[in-house]
């Protein structure tokens, strides 16, 4: 794999949005989380981990469907980049995970990270976590593109079954 973000091919997030809409043809949360993280892994270059953590216990993130190495579980809201996303309900984009004191290193290869909280109304359902072995893998376009994919995921999924 390339070591340089600039060498990655451009990702057409508009195309990915249309493909994901076609892929998510059931409202089942287990099916849709599994399909979505597999789809992102196949479609977005330069990732070593892509998956969901689910808010299934108070103030706690439980590991859900993912692609990559076995990962840390559970993650309390008080810890890590994922905990910060869950507490703030704001996307967390980290260019250098080594610079984040309480980053939780599940895979030692990870260098940058994008975490998108999944909420509707005042309910936090969980989050999508993407890791890359490349420093600063995620730019503004990636963040906006993946956030748009998560909007489709939320619209197309019966979140109460998560």
Would you tell me which residues interact with ligand SME (CB under 6 A)?
A: 49, 71-72, 75, 80-82, 103-104, 106, 110, 113, 129, 131
CB 81 within 8 A of CB 51: no
State in angstroms the smallest separation of the CB of 81 from ligand SME.
4
Number of residue whose CB is nearest ligand SME: 80
Locate 48 and state its tokens.
Answer: 């070593």
Locate 101 and state its tokens.
Answer: 């004191």
Would you say 35 or 92 has its CB closer to ligand SME? Answer: 92
Would you say 17 or 72 has its CB closer to ligand SME? Answer: 72
40-77: b (≥16 Cβ within 10 Å) or e: bbebbbbbbbbbbbbbeeeebbebbbbbbeebeeebeb
13-31: b (≥16 Cβ within 10 Å) or e: beebeeebeebbeeeebeb
State in angstroms the smallest separation of the CB of 99 from ligand SME.
12
Would you say 97 or 162 has its CB closer to ligand SME? Answer: 97
Would you say 18 or 69 has its CB closer to ligand SME? Answer: 69
Sign of CA dihedral 139, 141, 146, 148: positive
State in angstroms the smallest separation of the CB of 129 from ligand SME.
5
Would you say 18 or 89 has its CB closer to ligand SME? Answer: 89
State in angstroms the smallest separation of the CB of 41 from ligand SME.
13
State in angstroms the smallest separation of the CB of 106 from ligand SME.
4
């Amino acid at each position: 794999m390339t070591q340089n973000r600039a060498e990655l091919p451009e990702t057409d997030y508009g195309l990915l949005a249309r493909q994901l809409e076609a892929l998510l043809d059931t409202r089942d949360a287990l099916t849709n989380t599994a399909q979505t993280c597999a789809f992102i892994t196949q479609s977005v270059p330069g990732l070593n981990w892509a998956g969901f953590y689910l808010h299934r216990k108070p103030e706690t993130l439980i590991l859900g469907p993912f692609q990559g190495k076995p990962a840390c579980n559970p993650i309390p809201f008080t810890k890590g980049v994922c905990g910060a996303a869950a507490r703030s309900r704001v996307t967390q984009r980290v260019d250098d995970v080594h610079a984040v004191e309480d980053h939780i290193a599940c895979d030692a290869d990870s260098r940058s990270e994008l975490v998108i909280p999944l909420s509707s109304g005042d309910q936090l359902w969980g989050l999508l976590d993407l890791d890359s072995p490349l420093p600063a893998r995620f730019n503004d376009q990636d963040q906006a593109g993946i956030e748009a994919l998560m909007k489709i995921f939320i619209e197309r999924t019966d979140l109460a079954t998560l």
